[in-house]
Amino acid sequence: MAKQILSSTINGEAVEVLVQPYETLLDALRETLGLTGPKEGCGTGDCGACTVHLDGKPVASCLMLAVQARGRSVTTIEGLSDNGVLHPLQDAFVRHGVPQCGFCIPGVLMAAAALLAEHPKPSEEEIRYGIAGNLCRCTGYTKMITAISEAAQAAAPRSA
Amino acid sequence: MRRFEVALPESLDECLRLLADRGPESKLLAGGTDLLPQMKNGVTTPKHVIDLSGVAQVHVLESDAKTGLRIGSAVPARQVELDARVRDGYAAIADAAALIGSVQVRNLASVGGNLCNAAPSADMAPPLLALEAQAVIAGPKGERRVPLSDFFTGVRKTVLAPDELLVEIVTPPPGPRSGGSYIRHTPRRELDIAVVGVASQVTLSNGVCAKARIALAAVATTPIRATAAEAALEGKALTPELIDRAADLAVQSATPISDQRGSADFRRHLVRVLTRRTLTTALARAGA
């Protein structure tokens, strides 16, 4: 099995790495690139813990082969802040104490960032729908919705 | 995941050559949201995976007043869901595309993949059946068109040969004063599989229903049309009583099984309810 060269833009940087043909994007991000923010919860696209942005759109990175990201731009939770300045969503999540165990949070933040890029002032219903693909086993949804709503009020969000 | 080689064709011809060479041992990869879980749990163990992301023809999404809507087989559900031309002219398709998985899944999951995976519960099938869509299939001998009603041959089975590829789905324009709707029942609102799905499409003319098409998912081995119900509606004014009658007739087309998602009786009940609701919505969208 020949490894393939994967050329992508990852968190704003041009990256060239070797990946196995059968390697998922999530595994390449975590194992090869050391970006362990995206998590593997279910591995079947049900839990959303692996959510990253592909050309600005949220996708389940556990359901993609790494080679499918060739020539594309990938943003993980590690690329959401701007030179150490937290994204308004991250800031709101910290202030509201949203993370409990924290496992789902990188995926939730990436889903929420994509939501705000599309709907800068979402209704509660739109927020619930926007993070419907993310499971939190600590059941911390109420604080998530409060924090996302507050971040949307606080600032016109940047697209990630 | 069992190991495999991956091929990255840059054209349809290159893809067809790969299929001719190693079709039976290959799987085509579009969105991957069905294929990757199947490969991870060992249900599917291809030696070769052919990634379609470099094949331009399967990424077309175009609408033409005369020739209708062309959806490339690898176009993600999310793109279809958000497309103004689909929402305006082919609302039942947009309804269904908005229901496939979460937003993270819909940005990957393709319309063609949903059809080729050929689950009896495939959400994209009923609206496309009700709109009399055709599957455009490429193979070593050129292109052929198959009405979607002939595309599915059984549970997870289609007419596609191992050396063939679904290129796009073409839907003729439904014409003026037409409306459509797709509704499914799921125990959860998100990330669930239809217990039953129903699409209705009607065209009105001079106060009566000139054309009606009703399609059902998850009540037979393949997605099916409810032709007796359609016939009962055509040429008549779509009164609530007639819609109730059509809903009863649609139940007769269903041959559901009982499984963990619902009993056969419950599914028949859902066919009646969802046929009534989708016809009512289709009628309203047709501008009645």
Instruction: Determine contact: B43 vs chain A, CB below 8 A.
Output: no
Q: Is A59–B104 a contact, with Cβ atoms under 8 angstroms apart?
A: yes
Question: Above 90 in pLDDT, residue A160?
Answer: no
DSSP SS3 for B14: helix
Best residue in B5, B10, B103, B117 to probe A by mutation, most A CBs within 10 Å? B103
To the question of domain A88-154 being in CATH 1.10.150.120, the answer is yes
**The CATH number fitting domain B178-285, selected from 3.30.390.50, 2.40.30.10, 3.40.50.720, 3.30.70.20:** 3.30.390.50
Per-residue buried b or exposed e for B53-76, using 16+ beta carbons within 10 Å of the residue's own CB: bbbebbbebebeeeebbbbbbbbb
Measured between CA atoms, how close is A132 to chain B, in angstroms? 7
CA distance A22 to A20: 5
Residue B227 near chain A (CB below 8 Å): no
Could you tell me whether strands B61-64 and B68-72 are parallel, antiparallel, or unpaired per DSSP bridges? antiparallel
The Cα–Cα gap between A155 and B41 comes to 43
Residue A158 has pLDDT above 60, yes or no: no
Tokens of A93: 């999540």
Exposed / middle / buried, residue B176 (Cβ in 10 Å: 0-12, 13-18, 19+): exposed
Instruction: Give how far A58 is from chain B: nearest CA, Å.
Output: 5
Q: Which residues of A touch B33 (CB under 8 A)?
A: 45, 60, 63
- Angle at B159 (CA atoms; ends B215, B106), nearest 5 degrees: 60
The CATH 3.30.43.10 portion of chain B extends over: 5-51
Counting Cα atoms < 13 Å in the Cβ hemisphere of A17 gives 22
Tokens of B266: 């419950």
- The predicted structure's pLDDT at residue A155: 65
CA dist., res. B6 & res. A119, Å (int): 37
pLDDT given for residue B53 in this prediction: 96
**pLDDT at position B108:** 98
Chosen CATH of B5-51 out of 2.40.30.10, 3.40.50.300, 1.10.3720.10, 3.30.43.10: 3.30.43.10
DSSP state of B80: H
Interface contact flag, B108 A130, Cβ < 8 Å:
no
Chains A and B: how many Cβ contacts under 8 Å?
A: 94
CB contact under 8 A, A44 and B102: no
A33-59 mean pLDDT:
97
Single-letter amino acid, residue B105: V
Contacts of B189 in chain A (CB under 8 A): 132
Write out the two tokens for B57: 């023809």
Query: Do residues A106 and A139 make contact, with C-beta atoms less than 8 angstroms apart?
Result: no
Q: Which residues of A touch B78 (CB under 8 A)?
A: 57
Q: Please indicate whether, in this complex, the C-beta atoms of B104 and A60 are within 8 angstroms of each other.
A: yes
A130 touches chain B (CB under 8 A): yes
Q: Tell me: pLDDT of A76 over 60.
A: yes
Q: What interface predicted TM-score (ipTM) does this complex get? A: 0.94
Q: Chain A contacts of B1, Cβ < 8 Å?
A: 22, 24
Please give the CATH architecture assigned to the domain spanning A4-79.
Roll (3.10)
8 Å CB contact of B49 and A20: no
pTM score, whole prediction: 0.95
Predicted pLDDT of residue B121: 95
Mutation choice for B interface testing from A63, A73, A109, A119 by most B CBs within 10 A: A63
Rg of chain A in Å (alpha carbons): 15
Residues of B in contact with A24 (CB under 8 A): 1, 36
Instruction: Check CB contact under 8 Å for A65 and B36.
Output: yes
Which amino acid appears at position A131 of this protein? Answer: I
For B102-221, where are the alpha helices, taking DSSP H only? Answer: 103-106, 111-117, 125-130
Question: With an 8 Å Cβ cutoff, is B192 touching chain A?
Answer: no
Segment A64-74 shows an average pLDDT of: 97
* Mean of pLDDT over chain A: 95
According to the model, what pLDDT value does residue B187 have?
Answer: 87
- What tokens does A111 get? 């889903």
Q: What CATH architecture does domain B56-171 belong to?
A: 2-Layer Sandwich (3.30)
Is A24 an interface residue toward B (CB < 8 Å)? Answer: yes
Residue-wise pLDDT tens for chain B (288 aa)? 899 999 999 999 999 999 999 989 999 999 999 999 999 999 999 999 999 999 999 999 999 999 999 999 999 999 999 999 999 999 999 999 999 999 999 999 999 999 999 999 999 999 999 999 999 999 999 999 999 999 999 999 999 999 999 999 999 999 999 999 999 999 887 778 999 999 999 999 999 999 999 999 999 999 999 999 999 999 999 999 999 999 999 999 999 999 999 999 999 999 999 999 999 999 999 986
Cα(B250)–Cα(B242) distance, integer angstroms? 12
Residues 29-88 of chain A whose Cβ lies under 8 A from any Cβ of chain B: 43-46, 48, 51, 54, 57-60, 62-65, 67-68, 70
CATH 3.30.465.10: which residues of chain B?
A: 56-171
Length of chain B: 288
Q: Where in chain B is the domain with CATH 3.30.390.50?
A: 178-285
pLDDT at A157: 47
Enter the tokens of residue B161.
């040969």
pLDDT the model gives residue A156: 54
Residue among B275, B288, B287 nearest B130 (CA): B275
B3 vs A130: CB contact, 8 Å cut-off?
Answer: no
Q: What is the DSSP letter of B85?
A: H
Q: Would you say the CATH fold of A88-154 matches that of A4-79?
A: no
Q: Where are the domains of chain A?
A: 4-79, 88-154
- The Cα–Cα gap between A144 and B66 comes to 47
Give the pLDDT band (50/70/90) at residue A1: low
Q: Give the pLDDT of residue A25.
A: 98
Helix (H) or strand (E) holding A38: none
Chain B hits for A59, Cβ within 8 Å: 104, 107-108
Burial profile B184-212: b = 16 or more Cβ within 10 angstroms, e = fewer: bbbeeebbebbbbbbbbbbbbeeeebebb
> What is the structure's pLDDT at B190?
74
